[in-house]
Structure 1
Amino acid sequence: MKFSFFRKLSQFSIRQQLFIIYIPLVFLSTVIIGLYLVVDSTNQLTANYQYLAELNAQRVKSVLFDTTNTLYNTVFSLSNDTELRELLSSQFETDLEAMESIDDYPAVEEARKYQTSISELTIYTTNESLPNHRFIQAANNSVQETAWYQRAMTQSSAFFVTDNEQETNRLVLVKSLPLPLSDEKAVLVIRLDYNYLRNRLRNSSYYLELQLNDDVIFYSDQLQRVGQPLSLDSNKLFQTQHEQRAIISDNTLSSSTIDDVIHIYSADFEAHDNLRENLLRWAAIVGAVVLITFLIVLLFARFFTNRIQQLQQAVKHASIEDYDFFQNINGDDEISQISRDFHIIIQRIKRKEEEIFQARISEQELLTQQQQMEFSILAGQINPHFLFNTLETIRMTALISGNTDVAYAIRLLATSMRNTLKTHGTELVSLEEELDALHVYVKIQRLRFGDRVNFSYAVDNTLDQKRAILLPLLIQPLVENSITHGLESITYPGYIRLNVEVNEEDIIITVQDNGVGISEEALCQLQEKINTPSTTSQKNIGLANVNQRASLFYGEGYGLTIDSTEGQGTTVVLTIRDLGLKAKTKQVSVKKLETRVDLPDQASQ
């Protein structure tokens, strides 16, 4: 069934095949996926808007809890104040005496001063000896007939009410004040400041309304709605005077000490507009994708088929040598014909490439043989073994003639040349090999300068000299520089001290001499030459070479530093990184290289 479908499909032209595949594959899948994305993104956005509205309601709930709790603490503090009880229970002979007692009571003024959430604090009392002064008001008949006063007479705990006497500051906390030693009655009334609540709550883009129990609205972001009943339809869509739809969160604030419940309604009026825009945006995207893909397929089909037809004719004329191969590929469309012709061309190209590849291999073999012959000629021209054998012949002739000094010098020269050839082309050497080569070099210099050159060194035994790896010919140029520029022109005994120490992962190599030293100006010039080596300069090229090699190999921060005082000597410090393994021992040993050797020993060597 599967092969039958593709066999039938190949009977159509490529343009027809593209449209046959486009309708079920691109068009339908794009529409289905687009609808799914529209529904899924709408649901996710709705859930996110609902969640954000609930978060805002939780924030408002936290502010209300803090505010109402502050009011309740104030009421609780005043209701238990014995001084206030005494004031409310006392009988005063004159109004002046009563007003002075009221003025002397500071707690109410302090509460109003430090609690900015309080708009008004009033105590209504039946004590006729207390005049209406400051926070004291007489509980006349009109006051006693109010619902909140009658409730306070029957309920000892505090409660909230919504007061309709003021346009704002409608939320009121009421509590009867206990006067156990008097027959008088007193009720404490605290009004919540509307502006304080507005400043605390209006810091987001959400619309907010607050309702106490089932009373009218006591807070709204639209001031004209304060005092009106709340309208909420069955679909949780907030209705305002503009009939706007909104996603809201309905939350409540209740307290274990107060029986009243505050309803919090947090509404997002932009949510439905954003959802509609999202729906339109996705619909436009899906429509654009369908239209664009259709145009692309249409243009591509026209372009592709024209190109294929041209290519078919060109390949067909280029592959006219074998027509019997056409039967090996099924199908009657343009692709099938191109594949047959192209297969023939590929086979021919492969044969041509194989012939070219074999020719290149033969050519490379000839070049390799030629290079090997040239290397053999060069090796024959400079043969190290021939040179060493010649030096050994001269040394033996000197020994037979009794000239042990000459024989000893020739042996040192041969050893030095052997070490140089050994390290030539070698990237790294051990510290032990570097020090062995240095010993031979110092002995040769000892033959030249005599007692003017004295050398000693110390190596930190935390370094395993066989495993400590470094670049070759780093230390010898430092010692050579000390001999050539520091000790060559002195008449007193010269000393060179080499110290190899370990500092964490670095190896510190210090070469110190007591030679002529360097002036401050010359030292600055020398340091500049070392840091910027020149290919034409003939002085201090060894130091510049060491510094450049160390910097390039070990990285930034590694290389040479020079310190010198004229007439007192020079100290050169080379810092490199330890590339080997450290030994486990922690002692430091000092070894002194004796460069003076007796003549019989020289001859025996």
Structure 2
Amino acid sequence: MSSKHGPHSRIQKHMHRMLIPVILVPLLFIGVFLSFYAINFLYRQAQTQVESDNLRAKSVLLDAALHFYTISEELFSDGDLSRILTADYENEEEAMRICNGYERLARTHANNAAISSILIYTDNPSIPDCRYIQQADPDMLAEWFPLVSVSGTTSWQSSTLGYSESTYPGTDERSPELTFLRSIPLSPSSHHAILVIKLSNNYLKNRIQNNALFTALSIQDQPVFFSSSRFYQGQPQPVPIDFEKKGFHTSGFLPFGGEKQIGCITTLPAYHTDGQFYLTTIDLHAKTSIYQIGFICLLVLTAAIAASLYGILYSTRYFSRRVTTLQAAMEHASRGNYDIIDTFKGDDELTDTFLNLKIMIGNIKQQELQVYEARIKEQTLINQQQQMEYKLLASQINPHFLYNSLETIRMMSVGSGDRETASAIKLLGKTMHYVLENTGTASTTLDKELDYIASYLAIQKLRFEDRFDYTLRIPPDFSLSSYKILPLLLQPIIENAILHGLEEKDTGGQLTITLHTEEEKLHIIIEDNGKGMTEEEWHTLSEKLEASGDPDIPDFPDPSVPAGSIGLCNISRRIRLIYGSPYSMHLTSSPGRGTCVRLLLPLIPAD
């Protein structure tokens, strides 16, 4: 026994002594070197990115500052504006008319996305608050006017003055905006006026905030007027800055939020003033990413050392191969591929696990077969039930039409000649032929359905004479014979409009049927100018229509619903059963103005 295992133990010890100097030391050296190189590379890359983004923000801010100054130069030399501001107006209407008639400020505002607002504030008491020229309030007179007391001087401020409402709807919070101030010469008048242009924070957001970096912009030591985080808007700069130093610049790891983050701070001279803009750019995720890469490098190095130690052992390699084989079989099974190998080498727990896997796969196959068969049976029952419900609904068409038609013919026979009676009988035969022809059918063409409706309306005209008239509106380029519709779908709606909507009208009744198509859908609108329904009646009927449109709700007669409403409910249910939930029938009505029924159907080409 000892002679058998002795050589193996000596070889194992010899391999240990060889691996430490030959494999582990070089592997450890290379791993540490590459880890430090990767961390340093990520740091330099992050630093370059924040400096580049800072430079981009500086370019956007400089462009806006130059543009604002150019606008102020144009207004500074505008004689019309000077005359408006120096005039003493006799009444408020005249002042409003003249100030609002000055359109240069409105054009400037409309043509410049960077401008949040552009206003002129004046202490001229004869000028009321207009759209772009307003009276300066005491706060402005105390804070802004002294900054630009000399004609033509400019100033940049981070200010909330001039807001008429909160920055964020639903709150009282006002966030400062970068504000450009410039005095307007009004010599020889004793009045004063300043131009106030505010830089839009939305414009800065669209131009600057296109990545995950944090940005904060301020003027001098004033509150931040733009920040990619709303929390810092209106707050002091979140990083330490020496405001006394001209051209202040720093980069690297900066204290931010109680931690060190990679960032960059630069300055930009405020155009035509002695002030400076301070631009702060922070990468809040760079440090975390560097730490994660360092941790991953450590894990990779550890894994490499472990693999070097254990990977050379034959028993480990043999075991790994068996585990891989079992894992592949389980992965195939997890993806639904149950065709795995039939045999597995060895006689241990791994072999038992493989046999249990084979048994489990067999059980899963059996269960899936049972579920599939159950779903087929369930779908068959659903299809049969829907077909039966459709046949039942189709058979519920109100027979009052036939009764009323026969009654009309009888009355005509008493009071008129044989020709009118023959015409009435012909119309009735035509309608009855259409009903019998389409009983049990799933569809008919639009031209046949509308021809049937025309015959039905002609019979009703014989009955009601001049009490109502009807109009059929069809697009001129629409071919009725080219599209299909459910048979006997429109007649109950039209019957309901005549008997319940136009019944009380002695004359002037109007029924309009309109067809039009839109996005592969057919819209049919049936309107009358009858008595209409009260809001309570409309609400009750709408609920019944919505409930009848649900195929999952059994269709039992409701004694509280009038007979005409039952016909409408049947139509709604037929549409939902045959065409599906996207298609429906909707009804609107108001007392004394009539009722409108709208059908939304699929535009189905005829065979």
- TM-score by length of structure 2 reads 0.44
Looking at CA atoms only, which structure, 1 or 2, has the larger radius of gyration? 1
- TM-score by length of structure 1 reads 0.44
Higher RCO, Cα 8 Å, sep 6+:
1
